[in-house]
Amino acid sequence: MNNKKITSLVLIPVAVIAVVMMSRAPSQAQSADAPASALTKVALGAVQLRPANVYFAGVGELEAASQVQVSAEAGGRVTLINFESGRQVKAGEVLVKLNDAPEQAEQLRLQAQVRNAEIIRKRVTGLVRENAATQEQLDNARAAHDMALGELKKVQALIAQKTIRAPFAGVLGIRQVNEGQYLNVGDRIVSLVNTQVLYVNFSLDEQLSRRLVVGQTVGVLIDAYPDRVFKARISAVDPMIGRSRTVQVQATLESPDAPLKPGMYASVKVADTEVADVLTVPETAVAYTAYGDTVFLARPDQGATLVVKRVAVKIGQRQDGWVQIQEGLHEGDQVVTSGQLKLSDGMAVQATDDTLALPASKPPVTGI
């Protein structure tokens, strides 16, 4: 009797295990042989080699092609202010006049002296022809005339300096003088800036200097206009390398359609002249997280069944809906571009068309 009880106790667990195994086997068979309609549908995209520019970043600031602090070249009292702060002026336009009454009087005296010296020179020249005067007397007459003429031109130059004009066309800054004020040589009057042509001065690592070409297009980002990229062309590359192991570069912004101002901070993107092929995937394939960037890689498992696996990737630049892959994938790999939220590692999927995917034939942008 005891042996029968023991046998019954042993057989009961065995029977339970057998029932469980038999119930699981059909379930596993159903998972492996699940119909296509039961699989999670995802869109796939291929990892492709595509030509893409590499960009170098630099920082700098805007500088006007022509900018100057208009200042007094001669001392004197201000008798006329002919401008307003912030006004556009033409080249040669009178800005300020200083008192030049003493110089005007001196000019009249010297003009009379020059006329008298000219008369004497002509008279002595005639006498020399008649042998009534010596060559020395003629030389002295000529010298006296030239000296008087030189003094006259000196005074005329001083008069011209007391009429202060705009050296070029541009926009005036804030006036720094008042009528009646006495100006010494070098005293500032107003700033003048030509904003039609602006330079972008920036620096790049010395190793990039060989890849810079005059005329090359660069993209310029200005903090005041965060949603816009301004275009400029490299106009000069410094032949010297600075102590910080950087090379100074100047690009020209011509007639920008925004009121950019000299001194504005600028971020610059320079496209590498050497275009290289890089691995790319559609931007929708990449999941961006604080722990790193990942994609779902789809590979055949058994027969035509596709199984996905989450793979960590290192991404590079983004361009026109594509992302450069630096590490983690190989050319020809298939990645999930739509439907990632429904996936987990090892899940079987069915590929379907993605109406949001980028066309494979679309060429990348190779400029800025």
Q: Does domain 56-65+194-271 have CATH number 2.130.10.10?
A: no
pLDDT of 290 reads: 82
Banded pLDDT at 212 (limits 50, 70, 90): confident
Average pLDDT for the chain = 83
Express each pLDDT in 254-288 by its tens digit: 766 678 888 899 999 887 766 678 889 998 999 98
What's the rounded Cα separation, in Å, for the pair 29 and 338? 28
More confident residue, 226 or 161: 161
Q: What is the CA radius of gyration of the chain?
A: 42
Banded pLDDT at 10 (limits 50, 70, 90): very low
Banded pLDDT at 27 (limits 50, 70, 90): very low
Residue 367 DSSP class = -
pLDDT at 136 over 80: yes
pTM for this predicted structure? 0.57
- Domain covering 100-161 in this structure, CATH number: 1.10.287
Q: Which CATH number fits domain 38-52+277-352: 3.40.228.10, 2.40.420.20, 3.40.30.10, 3.40.50.1370?
A: 2.40.420.20
> What token pair was written down for 152?
């006259």
Nearest in space to 339 (alpha carbons), one of 280, 282, 290: 282
Express each pLDDT in 193-207 by its tens digit: 988 889 999 988 888
Q: Locate the domains of the chain by residue range.
A: 38-52+277-352, 56-65+194-271, 100-161
> With the CA atoms of 179, 184, 188 and 194 taken in that order, what torsion angle do they form, in degrees rounded to the nearest 10?
100
The share of the chain scoring above pLDDT 70, in percent, equals: 83
pLDDT of 207 reads: 82
